[in-house]
């Protein structure tokens, strides 16, 4: 077995086996088929990367198809958001398709099934139909309308199409086997009456096809060769095949459905219905809230397309579901931004430092490296002055020898600048430190080549010049849920695990190079983490979102496994 064969996942093995058995490689076609009833989330990202990745690997076209058969929940807003997300992830689709484009063909095929005696109109209430389905251990019961004549079924179905009946008055069911061990084969519903306007077809159709009837036939119309679904559709495969067998023409490609496992992410939910509840109840600000696991939320938080694609590839494809720790996703963005994000200085919990022996009114512009991981990133200028901000936690009046930051009588180096020594501090009436008085060694400027600049001190602090600082709103995010599996408790609602501290808003002071930073630009605030400019940011009111901290928690989890 070649190295390539060893590295194939089981879906690629299926494709390779089909090719070995004579399936023409030129006929390979894949699809990504979202329902436009919400925004895409990290789980969809894995499916996108799978299907479009296979398209890239086999140089095969990939369709973006919207399975838009439920006008009660679908909106053009979701269509537009999905297209933006797929493009942002770096993929191009061959054809933009809609199940609603096939409504007439699906209707015509349904008429053909009625004529074959394989479909009938049922006039019972939904509760009666559900009760007659039986159980996994008890066969279902035939509907009293199961043996309607072909002529009566054709008449009723045509009148359903014309809108003569109320919503829910009739349904069209496939006539298969009410005793099947697979309950999905017990005369499934193909069409229901629904007097609702569709986001694309308007009021043209008062009847809408069900997902199981639509999905496989849409694959067939588009000549998709391999239809990859998540595991919950495994039981649907038999029905998928039955519907296809009743329309399939031998000279055409017959799609093959196969299933792979979802990858669930810890401290997250990915149910669109439950994500919508978070939006509607104001737990989050919208579908693109940076705490949401949606692709738009991750993008707003500062995640890159490369990091999400790398996450999907790292997690891979499997046959069994498992829970992936969110720390792996954080590792992927940290690894990506370490190579790409410019380094800047910002102070989020400031205390003022006055350098008493630095000339009043003087300023100088120092060289600062933009990214040590990227030689081409170059340098920028940062201003230095008599008054600077440092982080409050970086100073203690007294500290033991393990504290390598600033303390009274101690020295530290200011990043890209000078060595300073803390001489005294000023406090308010409550005893809070308001100013730290320091002196600096004027010969110790970084990069100057002097003997004093080579002097080793154990601590290096980031800082921002007070007169040059830009004030910004900084949003610090934590996980939205306190439990690794908020959706995994039978006796509790997922809302019980909402983290009340998932968002902390603070004021920060930034170096002036960030004055014109644009939305979605990403930076490393040195010693603090990675941050992204929010879409609400403006020149008058800069807003930054924390993407992830600098600490590699995923590596520590791996070490403990």
pLDDT per position as a tens digit, 344-373: 999 999 999 999 999 999 999 999 999 999
**Which token pair is 129?**
């139909």
> How does pLDDT run across 371-402, given as a tens digit for each residue?
999 989 999 999 999 999 999 999 999 888 88
| Coil vs helix vs strand at 18 | helix
Residue 3 has pLDDT above 80, yes or no: no
What pLDDT is stored for residue 553 in this prediction?
58
pLDDT band at 426 (very low <50, low <70, confident <90, very high): very high
Are the CB atoms for 122 and 190 separated by under 8 Å? no
Are the CB atoms for 333 and 276 separated by under 8 Å? no
What pLDDT is stored for residue 322 in this prediction?
86
Compute the average pLDDT of residues 308-326.
Answer: 92
What pLDDT is stored for residue 286 in this prediction?
97
**Range in 19-23, 153-157, 252-256, 399-403 with the lowest mean pLDDT:** 399-403
Nearest-angstrom CA–CA distance, 462 and 390? 7
Helix axes 42-58, 76-88, angle to 10 degrees: 60
Nearest-angstrom CA–CA distance, 154 and 168? 18
Kindly state the DSSP code that residue 179 receives in the 8-state scheme: T
Distance of CA 106 to the CA centre of its chain: 33
Q: Is 91 exposed, middle or buried (0-12, 13-18, 19+ CB in 10 A)?
A: buried
Nearest-angstrom CA–CA distance, 514 and 544? 11
Rounded (to 5) percent helix, strand, coil in the chain: 35, 25, 40
> How does pLDDT run across 139-166, given as a tens digit for each residue?
999 999 999 999 999 999 999 999 999 9
Mean pLDDT score of the chain: 95
How many of the other CB atoms lie within 10 Å of CB of 476? 19
Distance of CA 469 to the CA centre of its chain: 34
Nearest-angstrom CA–CA distance, 77 and 287? 11
Residue 556 has pLDDT above 70, yes or no: no
| Coil vs helix vs strand at 546 | strand
Dihedral Cα 478, 480, 483, 488, nearest 10 deg: -150
Residues in the chain: 561
Contacts by 161-166 with C-beta closer than 8 Å and gap 24+?
161/107, 161/205, 161/206, 161/207, 162/206, 163/195, 163/206, 165/193, 166/193, 166/195
The CA distances from residue 312 to 157, 315, 538, in Å, are 45, 5, 33
What pLDDT is stored for residue 200 in this prediction?
96
Which helix or strand (DSSP H or E) is residue 12 part of? Answer: helix 10-20
Q: Give the active site residues.
A: 35, 262, 272
Residue 5 has pLDDT above 70, yes or no: no
What pLDDT is stored for residue 559 in this prediction?
56
Residue 234 has pLDDT above 50, yes or no: yes
All residues at 6 or more sequence positions from 249 whose CB lies less than 8 Å from its CB, including other chains: none
Find the largest Cα–Cα distance for the chain.
101
Q: Concatenated DSSP letters for 188-224?
A: -EEEEE----BTTTBTS-SEEE-HHHHHHHHHHHTT-
> How does pLDDT run across 67-86, given as a tens digit for each residue?
999 999 999 999 999 999 99
pLDDT band at 551 (very low <50, low <70, confident <90, very high): confident
What pLDDT is stored for residue 27 in this prediction?
98
What pLDDT is stored for residue 111 in this prediction?
98
Residue 484 has pLDDT above 80, yes or no: yes
Are the CB atoms for 242 and 461 separated by under 8 Å? no
**Range 19-56 burial, b when 16+ CB lie within 10 A, else e:** eeeebeeeebbbbbbbbbbbbbbbbbbbbbbbbbbbbe
**Which token pair is 83?**
């297209």
Residue 307 has pLDDT above 80, yes or no: yes
How many of the other CB atoms lie within 10 Å of CB of 154? 15
> How does pLDDT run across 435-461, given as a tens digit for each residue?
999 999 999 999 999 999 999 999 999
In the chain, pLDDT over 70 holds for what percent of residues? 97
Residue 555 has pLDDT above 70, yes or no: no
What pLDDT is stored for residue 1 in this prediction?
40
């Amino acid at each position: 077995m070649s190295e390539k064969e060893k590295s194939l996942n089981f879906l690629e093995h299926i494709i390779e086996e089909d090719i070995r058995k004579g399936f023409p490689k030129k006929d390979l076609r894949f699809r990504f088929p979202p329902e436009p009833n919400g925004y895409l989330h990290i789980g969809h990202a894995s499916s996108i990367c799978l299907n479009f990745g296979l398209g890239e690997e086999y140089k095969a076209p990939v369709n973006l198809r919207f399975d838009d058969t439920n006008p009660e929940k679908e909106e053009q807003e979701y269509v537009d958001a999905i297209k933006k997300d797929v493009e942002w992830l770096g993929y191009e689709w061959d054809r933009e398709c809609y199940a609603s484009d096939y409504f007439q063909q699906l209707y015509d095929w349904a008429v053909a099934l009625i004529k074959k005696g394989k479909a009938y109109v049922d006039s019972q209430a939904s509760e009666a139909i559900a009760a007659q389905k039986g159980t996994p251990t008890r066969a279902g019961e035939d509907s009293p309308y199961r043996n309607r004549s072909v002529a009566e079924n054709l008449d009723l179905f045509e009148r359903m199409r014309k809108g003569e009946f109320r919503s829910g008055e009739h349904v069209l069911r496939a006539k298969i086997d009410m005793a099947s061990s697979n309950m999905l084969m017990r005369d499934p519903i193909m069409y229901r009456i629904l007097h609702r306007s569709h986001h694309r077809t308007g009021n043209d159709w008062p009847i809408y096809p069900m997902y199981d009837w639509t999905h496989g036939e849409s694959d067939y119309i588009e000549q998709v060769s391999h239809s990859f679904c998540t595991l919950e559709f495994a039981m649907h495969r038999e029905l998928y095949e039955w519907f296809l067998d009743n329309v399939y023409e031998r000279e055409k490609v017959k799609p093959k459905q196969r299933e792979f496992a979802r990858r669930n992410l810890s401290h997250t939910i990915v149910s669109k219905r439950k994500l919508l509840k978070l939006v509607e109840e104001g737990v989050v600000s919208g579908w693109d809230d940076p705490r949401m696991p949606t692709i738009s939320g991750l993008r707003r938080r500062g995640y890159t397309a490369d990091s999400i694609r790398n996450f999907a590839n790292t997690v891979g494809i499997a046959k069994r579901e498992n829970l992936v720790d969110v720390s792996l996703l954080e590792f992927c963005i940290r690894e990506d931004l370490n190579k790409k994000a410019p380094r800047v200085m910002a102070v989020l919990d400031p205390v003022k430092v006055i350098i008493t022996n630095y000339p009043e009114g003087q300023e100088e512009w120092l060289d600062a490296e933009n990214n040590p991981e990227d030689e081409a990133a170059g340098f920028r200028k940062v201003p230095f002055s008599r008054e600077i901000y440092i982080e409050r936690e970086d100073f203690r009046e007294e500290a033991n020898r393990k504290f390598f930051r600033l303390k009274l009588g101690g020295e530290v180096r200011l990043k890209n600048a000078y060595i300073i020594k803390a001489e005294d501090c000023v406090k308010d009436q409550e005893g809070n430190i308001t100013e730290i008085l320091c002196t600096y060694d004027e010969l110790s400027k970084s990069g100057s080549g002097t003997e004093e600049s080579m002097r080793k001190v154990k601590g290096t602090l980031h800082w921002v010049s007070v007169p040059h600082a830009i004030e910004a709103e900084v949003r610090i995010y934590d996980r939205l849920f306190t439990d690794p599996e908020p959706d995994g408790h039978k006796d509790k609602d997922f809302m019980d695990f909402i983290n009340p501290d998932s968002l902390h808003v603070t004021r920060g002071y930034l170096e002036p190079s960030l004055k014109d930073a644009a939305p979605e630009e990403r930076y490393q605030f040195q010693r603090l983490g990675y941050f992204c400019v929010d879409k609400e940011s403006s020149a008058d009111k800069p807003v930054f979102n924390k993407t992830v901290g600098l600490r590699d928690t995923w590596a520590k989890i791996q070490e403990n496994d």
